[in-house]
Amino acid sequence: MKWPKLALPTKIMLGLLLGAAFGIVANRAGWQDFVGEYVKPVGTAFVKLITMVVIPLVFASLLVGTASLNDIRKLGRIGICTAAYYVTTTVIAISIGLVLANIFKPGASLPEETKAQLLASGAQDMTAKVEQMKQKPSLKDTLLNIIPSNPIQSFAEGKMLQVIFFALLTGICLTLVPDTRGAPVIAFFEGLNDVMIRMVHVIMHIAPYAVFALIAAVTANFGAEILRVLTKYALVVLLGLILHACLVYSMAVKVLARTKVWPFFKGIRPAQLIAFSSSSSSAALPVTMECAEENLGVPREIASFALPLGATINMDGTALYQGVAAAFIAQVYGMDLNVGQQLTIVLTATLASIGTAGTPGAGMAMLVIVLKSIGVPIEGIGLILGLDRILDMCRTAVNVTGDASCAMVVAAMDGQLGQGPRR
Where do contacts with ligand ASP occur on this chain (CB under 6 A)?
279-281, 315, 318, 356, 358-363, 392, 395-396, 399
Residue whose CB is less far from ligand ASP, 67 or 237:
237
Residue whose CB is less far from ligand ASP, 193 or 288:
288
Q: Are 53 and 288 in contact (CB under 8 A)?
A: no
CA distance 184 to 190: 10
Work out how close the CB of 313 gets to ligand ASP at its nearest, in angstroms, rounded to a whole number. Answer: 11
Task: Give the DSSP letter of residue 407.
Answer: H
Work out how close the CB of 185 gets to ligand ASP at its nearest, in angstroms, rounded to a whole number. Answer: 31
Work out how close the CB of 382 gets to ligand ASP at its nearest, in angstroms, rounded to a whole number. Answer: 17
Measured at the CA of 56, the angle between CA 170 and CA 150, to 5 degrees, comes to 55
Q: Which amino acid is at 213?
A: A
Q: Are 314 and 84 in contact (CB under 8 A)?
A: no
Work out how close the CB of 7 gets to ligand ASP at its nearest, in angstroms, rounded to a whole number. Answer: 25
Q: By Cβ distance, which residue is nearest to ligand ASP?
A: 363
Residue whose CB is less far from ligand ASP, 219 or 279:
279
Residue whose CB is less far from ligand ASP, 54 or 412:
54
Q: Are 405 and 253 in contact (CB under 8 A)?
A: yes
Residue whose CB is less far from ligand ASP, 78 or 364:
364
Q: Are 330 and 219 in contact (CB under 8 A)?
A: no
CA distance 225 to 382: 16
Residue whose CB is less far from ligand ASP, 164 or 315:
315
Work out how close the CB of 361 gets to ligand ASP at its nearest, in angstroms, rounded to a whole number. Answer: 5
CA distance 23 to 229: 21
Chain centroid offset of residue 83 CA: 16
Work out how close the CB of 357 gets to ligand ASP at its nearest, in angstroms, rounded to a whole number. Answer: 7
Work out how close the CB of 324 gets to ligand ASP at its nearest, in angstroms, rounded to a whole number. Answer: 12
Q: Are 361 and 279 in contact (CB under 8 A)?
A: yes
Q: Residue 81's CB: how many other CB atoms inside 10 A?
A: 19
CA distance 312 to 300: 18
CA distance 328 to 153: 40
Residue whose CB is less far from ligand ASP, 60 or 365:
365
